[in-house]
């Protein structure tokens, strides 16, 4: 896992990104901490590595993300566009009210397939 420390409002948060491949066509990117202008390039890199390795779909686990800004939303949308070009999808995993609110306000809750658990998201990718 790639971990760094980020500071927001005097508190220090750990940021991390990890990647797995549950199957040859599906990549999994798990993020902890905050996705903002400073950390979103690392999330983007993890997503792109999966596409370059032949994945067509991604599951992005946001269940441990506490903050998501417009740069984070931008990389998720860019990843979705890339996945759809490849005939795949990007599925998000989160139940955090703060993250869900950001997705709802931007209308992205209607664009992304959002699951409550990793198992639920992986089952959805297997059905495709």
pLDDT digits (tens, 9 = 90+) for 14-34: 899 999 999 999 999 999 999
pLDDT number for residue 121: 95
Angle (CA) 29-47-119 rounded to 5° is: 30
Q: Write out the E strands in 9-116.
A: 11-23, 26-35, 57-68, 90-93, 113-115
Which residue did the predictor score with more confidence, 124 or 92? 92
Segment 35-52 shows an average pLDDT of 96
> Mean pLDDT over all residues of the chain?
90
pLDDT band of 11, cuts 50, 70, 90: very low
**CATH class of domain segment(s) 22-127:** alpha beta
Q: Would you kindly state where each structural domain of the chain is located, as residue ranges? A: 22-127
d(CA 60, CA 35): 12
pLDDT number for residue 100: 97
pLDDT at 120 over 60: yes
pLDDT number for residue 125: 85
pLDDT tens sequence across 65-104? 999 999 999 999 999 999 999 999 999 999 999 999 999 9
pTM above threshold 0.75: yes
């Amino acid at each position: 896992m790639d971990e760094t420390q980020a500071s927001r409002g005097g508190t220090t948060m750990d940021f991390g990104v990890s990647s797995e491949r549950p199957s040859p066509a599906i990549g999994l990117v798990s993020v902890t901490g905050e996705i903002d202008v400073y950390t979103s390039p690392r999330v983007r890199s993890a997503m792109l590595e999966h596409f370059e390795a032949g994945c067509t779909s991604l599951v992005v686990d946001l269940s441990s993300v506490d903050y998501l800004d417009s740069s984070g939303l931008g990389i998720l949308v860019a990843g979705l566009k890339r996945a759809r070009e490849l005939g795949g999808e990007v599925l998000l995993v989160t139940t955090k009210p703060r993250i869900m609110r950001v997705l709802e306000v931007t209308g992205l809750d209607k664009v992304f397939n959002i699951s409550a658990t990793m198992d639920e998201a992986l089952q959805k990718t297997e059905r495709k």
